[in-house]
Amino acid sequence: MATVNIKENDNIEIAIKKFRKEVEKEGILKVLKDKQFYKKPSLEKKIAKEKSEKRLKRKMRKEKRLGIKT
């Protein structure tokens, strides 16, 4: 859980910024967004496969640019 400790004389805007960073770092909003609606297992598998293919393509482009053969 994201928490931010502030002192009596601290600026509230700075505390809010710190809290937002903590929430983003922990991925709370991403999880909430993912669980907002039900996804069929077949759709989840399709999304995971597409992400995997994207990662592989990105890796291959990087290796090609650096001249590394696999």
Would you list the domain boundaries of the chain? 1-37, 38-70
Q: Which two tokens stand for residue 67?
A: 């001249």
C-alpha 3/C-alpha 22 separation (Å) is 7
C-alpha 29/C-alpha 33 separation (Å) is 6
Instruction: Please tell me the pTM assigned to this model.
Output: 0.56
Question: How many residues does this entry show for the chain?
Answer: 70
Residue type, 32: L
- Tell me what pLDDT residue 68 has: 77
C-alpha 23/C-alpha 31 separation (Å) is 11
Q: What is the pLDDT of residues 38-63, one digit of tens each?
A: 999 999 999 999 999 999 999 999 99
Q: Which two tokens stand for residue 28?
A: 């709370």
